[in-house]
Structure 1
């Protein structure tokens, strides 16, 4: 993510976002993901926000790197035990076969649609053989800004399936839901874990 307005919103509201997304333990999706990663595996939380998911992964014994474009989010993530946090954008991912799993939970949806294939290909290259990739996005079509000014790309299940397959990733079953986000609106979402 490199959109200055989106980053500005997250810098300004990092604490509020942390309070909104914080949990004492992993939710079902994250718990299932952790259970599938090889014990002690190396994981990248790509677009980590305040580091809540990274904290749960580290607590489960995984080696966790957490990246975010927002300096304020990185500052919060760096406080999480066992988490190595750094400020970085999606295009900084140039590693080859370096990670057992990559977690991109409501982060890649801030990239322009034209950039998504490039980012997914980089993720596929960064995974070790058989590695896992989780992605969660808002469901819909097109690109738009929300009430806070954050830029979004929306996805359908069929469209995201094609993008993952084109990158050489095999998606598993999709999950769906509707939740209230930072902007206060109730939005439908889809998520899936794929493997290389």
Structure 2
């Protein structure tokens, strides 16, 4: 379920990735997500990377469990923000009724297509009733590796909404946009907010 080549890229390119995401601007989608919770609610940051989102959530009074599959990302997140990030793969998420929210921002696009629904079901189990999940993905078809060797799975909006619905969520909000990632290619993205039924 975990793509070792992708993890290896993040371990080797941690400084390049940090330069791409390190900035003073606040993410309006993250702030909208944070506004759904009360102080001390517990949030899983799945694929926390260098820890920016987890640090912002913590600064707003939330308790955060930041996890990433790349050991160097975990190390950087803890050095930069002291957020108790830990190393974990998608398949390690086995909690039940633990979290009030899940922030999966452009992490599950590295999960193989055959595994996505299984992971979403695990996230649903990990959430408390009426918990919220944020899912950021790239739009498109099929799968491919970028010039660094990272695996990407692409979906249409309808496909993602079906996956989210089948896993037990009701889609409450959809944001669309276009952005360049570490590889430099401009690509369309989607951010879904799902409410656990």
Superposition TM-score, scaled by structure 1 size: 0.96
Q: Deviations over 1:75-128 (max 9, x none)?
A: 111134462200100110000000000000000010000000100000000001
1:69 alignment partner in structure 2: 69
Which stretches of structure 1, 4 residues or more, deviate above 4 A after TM superposition?
Answer: none
Give the Cα separation in 1 of the matches to 2:26 and 2:93.
Answer: 25
Q: Do the aligned residues in 2 keep the contact of 1:67 with 1:88 (CA within 8 Å)?
A: yes
1:39 alignment partner in structure 2: 39
**Unaligned runs of at least 5 residues, structure 2:** none
Q: Do the aligned residues in 1 keep the contact of 2:51 with 2:81 (CA within 8 Å)?
A: no
The Cα of 1:9 is off from its aligned counterpart by 0.8
Give the Cα separation in 1 of the matches to 2:86 and 2:63.
Answer: 14
**Unaligned runs of at least 5 residues, structure 1:** none
SS at match of 1:187: strand
Give the Cα separation in 2 of the matches to 1:144 and 1:112.
Answer: 10
Give the Cα separation in 2 of the matches to 1:82 and 1:56.
Answer: 12
Q: Which moved more, 1:106-115 or 1:22-31?
A: 22-31
Q: Deviations over 1:17-65 (max 9, x none)?
A: 1121123253100000011122211011001111111110011111111
Give the Cα separation in 2 of the matches to 1:181 and 1:49.
Answer: 14
1:178 alignment partner in structure 2: 178
Superposition TM-score, scaled by structure 2 size: 0.96
Q: Do the aligned residues in 2 keep the contact of 1:37 with 1:132 (CA within 8 Å)?
A: no
SS at match of 1:118: helix
What is the aligned length? 196
Give the Cα separation in 1 of the matches to 2:71 and 2:31.
Answer: 27
